């Protein structure tokens, strides 16, 4: 099939094997001489290990721990603060201490029950609030930027009023349907790690450090990955270290697969957050200044949290041009499971917060929330909050107008008001969110840290292979990136293929994160294809490489938090209609709309899949999915305890794409995968607020939260 | 099929480990996700919840068996045309649930489809494109039936 318009949908390359279930995910794989691993994990939240007792192990069973690590005992990532096997201090419940390996899982569970570790317990920090109280010792990292506080305090003195709000967001759990799994295949001259993953070279680098071995002694191969959403960005590095160290120690292949329970309680999650807003208004409710404090619960170690905080802060003013804006943020340590990457990476928290705050401020101006927000929308040429620039055209006004029409917004508002007056039990509401997503790594990450390289290999018979380290985890890059190359080479799509990446074969084109794959890697592939086309020699094998070139704009400076934080932005608008049952607090989605601008979609159908799936996660983050800890322990241990949406919770989504081709993206494409999640929670919150004519200072707005708020209202009325 | 496995062994493990059929997936092991859906005497069940002792003599069909049928072909095409497959982990279970629904109710409404697949969790798609796929399969099925 030859491609005309890149956006025209094509059948997905991996469809057949997936629909028949014959694609082997890691848990479907068996190799010779394979044993299983089970981890013994810390039962306490904070303390020092005094002694470890391991029962006598039967023949063929082994214990693997810190002594077996050839290299330093940490999982190499940004900060070196996560031990591979804790051997001195434990910092959270579930932290791995040692691994038992052997043939039979039930025997391993039985043996694990007999392991005894003695601790000297210390006082843990269980909650974000406790950490905020001890901020000087609990802060991992902080940033501050924006207008000087002296100027702001002068403005506040003359202001008509100051509005202060606190806002909290909860955990979010990925619930990728395939639990985490990793297999280290032991060979005489190398260890090959296979598994479910998003970032091959993160894992490879972690293994080179942990095994203290040469580059050719370890290899990482991505298995088909049953969903990632960020959950398989940094976490798999630790599992890969576990299986590779064990394989190295026992000279057998070692498989570690989590069951759902283990996956839910020990893997990274979206950072819970707290926001403090302080906004000065004039008499008409216009914003004079705004200060935002962001607090992220990092959990027990820093991991990627500093970068997550950067994105939170960069999005702390939403899509608005706010006069005199100041922001400060901290990641705080708590003795809970470490938090990490999750689709949106700090942005969903910030957007939930700022959209909520702006909605509440609109009341002071006696304006409809959306009308109020529109007054502050950024326009092309406006500065960003870090003194960068929105240099490309922005279509937000058009996208909003279109949805006002499509949803019949004004009429709906009146209709719902009437409905709500006539109905005691059910209340209807409509809410909106406006948002953006900075595409690619924050700041100079691409240039300084990733330095992506892509490779195309052409065979004698004119077939072209993509050699890159990016993972298809369901988002469809096997298809979309192949399309980009096929289009540029003017080849039928069938002649271009993209095998499962293997670090022995592929250069480091970076991790599959940050909505960078289509835009950054796709562009490199497009350029490589162009080069190959120019050099094309029939009947010969050929290879071409392309390397990332940084387009310098306003240079990013992480210390002062100034400059262009992102090369480009994708944009979105959501409208959501709900019906709330005031007897039970249950929220029913009635209609969901989304308009998006992602430059140019590489495949409209795959893009729709991103919209539907991302929005389902984003909406649920706002009202359905709830995860909590009690004394350092995750309370939701099964999928239904946690409550991700089923087919009965979602409704058809009316979505539309607005083309706005981006010069540095392949065929004009920008990032898309994370954007789609961001608008869900704030839109559903504002719809519930509209229905109940109240305001919430938190997500998720669960049935429980709604009932409490209704009871408070009732008490106030009686008083 | 015969097995020496103890009667308390999970049917899911028997299918995967002993028979080596990998199309039946484990997503939760607790009856909550539907990734392990199979037919036991033509009724849709979660194989992770079934001890093999409870199904002696029953007829079991997994996705590998369904794959041979005309119904599967139609579902396969429809899922492809509607973009119902992302990571694929839920998909064999979804296809089993779709087949179960269409066998009982060849012309389901949108609400009936949502009900029919509500025991199957999908974290990638937000379900709508799967619902579309089932609807399309129903239409295609009608054509097939008429042809016959
Ligand atoms: S694995 Fe059986 S229902 Fe989830
Ligand atoms: S396609 Fe990934 S869980 Fe359904």
Chain B residues within an 8 Å CB radius of A480: none
pLDDT digits (tens, 9 = 90+) for A454-489: 999 999 999 999 999 999 999 999 999 999 999 999
CATH no. for residue A691? 3.30.365.10
A524, A547, A570 — which closes off a domain?
Answer: A547
For residue A218, what are the domain limits? 31-123+175-264
Half-sphere exposure in the Cβ direction for A596 (13 Å, CA): 33
A547, A582, A616 — which closes off a domain?
Answer: A547
CA–CA separation, A145 vs A314, rounded Å? 10
Report how many domains make up chain A. Answer: 3
The residues spanned by each domain of chain B are 11-62, 66-147
8 Å CB contact between A256 and A266: no
pLDDT digits (tens, 9 = 90+) for A349-401: 999 999 999 999 999 999 999 999 999 999 999 999 999 999 999 999 999 99
- The DSSP result for A328-357, as a single string, is EEEEEE-SSPPP---TTTTHHHHHHHHHHH
Same domain? A622 vs A487? no
CA–CA separation, A438 vs A440, rounded Å? 7
Same domain? A484 vs A434? no
CATH fold of B66-147, please?
A: DNA polymerase; domain 1 (1.10.150)
Q: Is residue A617 part of a domain?
A: yes
Q: Is residue A283 part of a domain?
A: no
8 Å CB contact between A197 and A231: no
* Ligand showing the shortest atom-to-Cα distance for residue B79: 2
Give the pLDDT confidence score for residue A154 in this predicted structure: 98
Which residues sit opposite A90 in a β-bridge? A47
Q: Is residue A338 part of a domain?
A: no
Chain A residues within an 8 Å CB radius of B63: 20-21
Question: Edge-to-edge strand order for the sheet containing B37-40?
Answer: B43-46, B37-40, B60-61
Q: Is residue A519 part of a domain?
A: yes
Q: Given pLDDT bands bounded at 50, 70 and 90, which one contains residue A443?
A: confident
- CATH class assigned to B11-62: alpha beta
Q: Average pLDDT, stretch A238-255?
A: 98
> Which residue intervals of A121-222 are DSSP H helices?
128-133, 135-138, 149-158, 200-211
The Cα-based distances of B56 to A425, A592, B15, B44, B47 in angstroms read 51, 47, 14, 17, 14
A497, A524, A547 — which closes off a domain?
Answer: A547
Q: Given pLDDT bands bounded at 50, 70 and 90, which one contains residue B2?
A: confident
Give the pLDDT confidence score for residue B148 in this predicted structure: 43
Q: Looking at ligand 1, which residue's alpha carbon is closest to its atom 3?
A: B31
Question: Edge-to-edge strand order for the sheet containing A181-186?
Answer: A62-64, A96-102, A34-41, A253-257, A181-186, A191-195, A218-222
- The DSSP result for A443-466, as a single string, is TTHIIIII--EEEEEE-TTS-EEE
- Identify whether A700 is preceded by a cis peptide bond (ω within 30 of 0): yes
pLDDT digits (tens, 9 = 90+) for A104-135: 999 999 999 999 999 999 999 999 999 999 99
Q: Which helix (H) or strand (E) holds A183?
A: strand A181-186
Q: Is residue A232 part of a domain?
A: yes
For B89, which of A11, A25, A609 is closest by C-beta distance?
Answer: A25
Show Cβ contacts of residue A309 under 8 Å, excluding neighbours closer than 6 positions.
Answer: A141, A142, A143, A294, A296, A329, A330, A331, A346
User: Within the 16-75 window of chain B, which residues sit less than 8 Å (CB to CB) from chain A?
Assistant: 16, 22-30, 32-33, 35, 63-64, 67, 72, 75
Give the pLDDT confidence score for residue A717 in this predicted structure: 72
Q: Average pLDDT, stretch A55-61?
A: 98
Same domain? A411 vs A433? yes
Tell me whether B128 touches chain A (CB under 8 Å): yes
Rg (CA), chain B: 15
| Long-range own/partner contacts, residues A640-645 (CB < 8 A, 24 or more apart) | A640/B32, A642/A173, A642/A175, A642/A264, A644/A173, A644/A175, A644/A617, A644/A620, A644/B121, A644/B123, A645/A616, A645/A619, A645/A620, A645/B126, A645/B127
Same domain? A372 vs A449? no
CA–CA separation, A618 vs A123, rounded Å? 35
Give the pLDDT confidence score for residue A577 in this predicted structure: 98
Show Cβ contacts of residue A425 under 8 Å, excluding neighbours closer than 6 positions.
Answer: A581, A582, A583
Q: Hey, do B11-62 and B66-147 end up sharing a CATH topology, with the first three levels equal?
A: no
Same domain? A389 vs A474? no
Q: Given pLDDT bands bounded at 50, 70 and 90, which one contains residue A249?
A: very high
DSSP code for A72: -
Report strand pairing: B43-46 vs B37-40. Answer: antiparallel
Task: Return the residue of B nearest to A225 by Cα.
Answer: B87
CA–CA separation, A282 vs A287, rounded Å? 7
Give the pLDDT confidence score for residue A718 in this predicted structure: 63
Same domain? A494 vs A598? no
Task: Report ipTM for this prediction.
Answer: 0.97
Q: Per the CB < 8 Å rule, is B86 touching A646?
A: no
Q: Average pLDDT, stretch A282-291?
A: 98
B28 Cα nearest atom in ligand 1 = 4
Stronger pLDDT, B55 or A443, i.e. the higher one:
B55
Same domain? A510 vs A617? no
- Say how many residues make up chain A: 719
Q: Is residue A279 part of a domain?
A: no
pLDDT at A196 over 50: yes
Same domain? A492 vs A404? no
Give the pLDDT confidence score for residue B146 in this predicted structure: 54
8 Å CB contact between A473 and A232: yes
User: Which of these, B119, B131, B114, lies nearest to B79 by C-alpha position?
Assistant: B131
Chain B residues within an 8 Å CB radius of A225: 87
8 Å CB contact between A242 and A277: no
Show Cβ contacts of residue A624 under 8 Å, excluding neighbours closer than 6 positions.
Answer: A643, A644, A645, A649, A700, A702
Give the pLDDT confidence score for residue B147 in this predicted structure: 47
Q: Is residue A460 part of a domain?
A: yes
User: Which of these, B11, B33, B10, B37, lies nearest to B23 by C-alpha position?
Assistant: B37
B87 Cα nearest atom in ligand 2 = 2
* 3-class secondary-structure state, position A649: coil
Q: Per the CB < 8 Å rule, is A15 touching B115?
A: no
User: Which of these, A3, A54, A67, A286, lies nearest to A155 by C-alpha position?
Assistant: A286
Q: Per the CB < 8 Å rule, is B25 touching A473?
A: no
Q: Average pLDDT, stretch A604-622?
A: 98
CA–CA separation, B15 vs B12, rounded Å? 5
Q: How many CB atoms are closer than 10 A to CB B29?
A: 20
CA–CA separation, A355 vs A622, rounded Å? 12
Chain B residues within an 8 Å CB radius of A17: 88
Mean pLDDT, chain B, integer? 95
Same domain? A612 vs A671? yes
* % pLDDT > 90, chain A: 97
Q: A225 alpha carbon to ligand 1 midpoint, in Å?
A: 18
Tokens of residue A542, six digits = 């050929």
User: Which of these, A456, A504, A463, lies nearest to A481 by C-alpha position?
Assistant: A456
Q: Looking at ligand 2, which residue's alpha carbon is closest to its atom 2?
A: B87
pLDDT at A78 over 90: no
Q: Average pLDDT, stretch A499-526?
A: 97
CATH no. for residue A60? 3.90.1170.50
Q: Given pLDDT bands bounded at 50, 70 and 90, which one contains residue B98?
A: very high
């Amino acid at each position: 099939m030859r491609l005309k318009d890149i956006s025209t949908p094509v059948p997905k390359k991996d469809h057949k094997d997936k629909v028949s279930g014959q694609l082997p995910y890691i848990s479907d794989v068996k190799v010779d001489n394979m044993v299983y691993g089970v981890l013994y994990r810390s039962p306490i939240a904070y303390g020092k290990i005094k002694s470890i007792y391991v029962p006598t192990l039967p023949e063929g069973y082994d214990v693997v721990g810190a002594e077996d690590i050839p290299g330093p005992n940490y999982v190499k990532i940004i900060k070196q603060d996560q031990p591979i096997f804790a051997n001195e201090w434990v910092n959270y419940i579930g932290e791995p201490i040692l691994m038992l390996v052997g043939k039979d899982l039930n025997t391993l569970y039985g043996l694990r029950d007999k392991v005894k570790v003695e601790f000297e317990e210390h006082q843990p920090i269980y909650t974000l609030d406790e950490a905020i109280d001890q901020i000087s010792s609990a802060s991992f990292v902080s940033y501050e930027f924006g207008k000087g506080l002296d100027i702001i305090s002068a403005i506040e003195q003359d202001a008509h009023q100051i509005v202060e709000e606190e806002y909290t967001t909860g955990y979010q759990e990925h619930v990728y349907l395939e639990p985490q799994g990793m297999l280290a295949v032991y060979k005489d001259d190398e260890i090959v790690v296979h598994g479910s993953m998003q970032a091959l070279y993160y894992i490879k680098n972690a293994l080179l450090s942990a095994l203290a071995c040469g580059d050719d002694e370890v290899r990482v191969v991505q298995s088909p990955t049953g969903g990632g959403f960020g959950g398989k960005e940094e976490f798999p590095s630790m599992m890969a270290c576990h299986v590779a160290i064990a394989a190295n120690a026992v000279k057998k292949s070692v498989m570690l697969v989590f069951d759902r329970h283990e996956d839910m309680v020990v893997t990274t999650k979206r950072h819970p957050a707290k926001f403090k807003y302080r906004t000065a208004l004039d008499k008409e409710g216009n914003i004079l200044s705004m200060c935002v404090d962001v607090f992220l619960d990092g959990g027990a170690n820093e991991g990627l949290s500093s970068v997550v905080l950067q994105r939170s802060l960069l999005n702390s003013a939403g899509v608005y041009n706010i006069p005199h804006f100041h922001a400060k943020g901290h990641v705080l340590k708590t003795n809970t499971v470490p938090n990490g990457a999750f689709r949106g990476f700090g942005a969903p928290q910030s957007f939930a917060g700022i959209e909520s705050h702006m909605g509440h401020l609109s009341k002071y101006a006696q304006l409809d929330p959306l009308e109020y927000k529109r007054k502050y929308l950024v326009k092309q040429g406006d500065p960003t909050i870090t003194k960068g620039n929105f240099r490309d055209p922005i279509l937000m006004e058009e996208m909003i107008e279109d949805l006002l029409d499509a949803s019949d917004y004004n009429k709906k508002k009146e209709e719902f008001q009437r409905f709500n007056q006539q109905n005691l039990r059910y209340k209807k509401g409509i809410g909106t969110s406006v948002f953006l997503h900075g595409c690619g790594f924050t700041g100079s990450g691409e240039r300084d840290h990733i330095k992506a390289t892509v490779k195309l290999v052409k065979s004698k018979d004119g077939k072209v292979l993509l050699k890159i380290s990016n993972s298809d985890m369901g988002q469809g890059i096997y298809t979309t990136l192949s399309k980009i190359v096929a289009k540029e080479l003017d080849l039928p799509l069938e002649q271009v293929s993209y095998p499962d990446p293997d670090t022995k074969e592929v250069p480091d084109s970076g991790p599959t994160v940050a909505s960078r794959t289509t835009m950054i890697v796709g562009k490199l592939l497009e350029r490589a294809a162009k080069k190959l086309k120019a050099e094309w020699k029939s009947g010969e094998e050929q290879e071409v490489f392309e390397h990332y070139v940084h387009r310098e704009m306003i240079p990013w400076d992480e210390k002062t938090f100034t400059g262009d934080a992102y090369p480009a932005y994708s944009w979105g608008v959501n409208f959501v209609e709900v019906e709330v049952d005031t007897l039970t607090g249950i929220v029913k989605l009635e209609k969901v709309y989304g308009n998006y601008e992602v430059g140019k979609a590489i495949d409209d159908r795959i893009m729709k899949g991103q919209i539907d799936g991302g929005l389902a996660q984003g909406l649920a983050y706002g009202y359905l999915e709830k995860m909590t800890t009690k004394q350092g322990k995750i309370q939701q241990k099964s999928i239904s305890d946690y409550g991700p949406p089923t087919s009965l919770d979602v409704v058809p989504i009316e979505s539309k794409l607005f083309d706005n081709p981006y010069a540095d993206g392949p065929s004009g494409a920008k990032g898309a995968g994370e954007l789609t999640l961001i608008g869900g929670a704030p839109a559903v919150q504002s719809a519930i607020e509209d229905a109940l004519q109240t305001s919430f200072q938190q997500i998720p707005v669960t049935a429980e939260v709604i009932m409490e708020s209704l009871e408070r209202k009732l008490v106030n009325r009686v008083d | 099929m015969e097995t020496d496995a103890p009667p308390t062994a999970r049917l899911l493990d028997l299918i995967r480990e002993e028979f080596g059929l990998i199309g039946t997936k484990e997503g939760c092991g607790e009856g909550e996700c539907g990734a392990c859906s199979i037919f036991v005497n033509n009724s849709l069940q979660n194989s992770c919840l079934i001890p093999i002792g409870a199904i002696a003599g029953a007829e079991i069909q997994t996705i590998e068996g369904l794959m041979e049928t005309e119904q599967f072909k139609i579902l396969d095409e429809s899922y492809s045309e509607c973009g119902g497959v992302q990571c694929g982990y839920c998909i064999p279970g979804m296809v089993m649930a779709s087949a179960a629904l269409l066998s009982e109710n060849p012309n389901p409404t949108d609400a009936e489809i949502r009900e029919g697949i509500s025991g199957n969790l999908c974290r990638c798609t937000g379900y709508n494109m799967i619902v579309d796929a089932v609807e399309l399969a129903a239409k295609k099925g009608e054509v097939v039936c008429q042809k016959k």
